Copies of this chain bind each other. A is one copy, B any other.
């Protein structure tokens, strides 16, 4: 029987060649190839990460920050290339979560607790 690493490399290849990954790649490159979209997307990511970090560290998030984040999301969702990218990210994310659940199943069976799903 092939070992774990062989199977992991096969899986990596299957991910790389999947519609889900190539779709994400195309969408990502479309955004990165457009200066305006790129900047908008990077601002959005930065806002998200800052809020997430604060949340994880139990810091207070002001109403103003929440409102600002909401507006940033609204703007990027109306940008066709960025909203396409976010859709594709969500799609691959679902697949990666599924895969992660499948391969951590032996540990889950052993320890009897489901692993925290990755976002």
A residues lining the B interface (CB < 8 Å) = 1-12, 14-18, 20-21, 24-25, 28, 56-59, 92, 95-96, 98-99, 102-107, 110-111
Q: State in angstroms the CA–CA spacing of A7 and B15 once bound together.
A: 9
A12-B106, A58-B58 as given contacts; A3 in contact with B24, CB under 8 Å: no
* Assembly CA distance A56 to B57 (angstroms): 6
Q: Which of B10, B24, B110 contacts A7 (CB 8 A)?
A: B10
Q: How many Å from the CB of A108 to the closest CB on chain B?
A: 11
* Copies of this chain in the oligomer: 2
Known: A5-B98, A11-B11. 17 other contacts (CB 8 A): A1-B17, A3-B14, A4-B99, A5-B102, A7-B10, A8-B98, A10-B11, A11-B102, A12-B102, A12-B103, A12-B105, A15-B103, A24-B110, A56-B56, A57-B57, A96-B104, A96-B107
Contacts of A18 in B (CB 8 A): 3-4
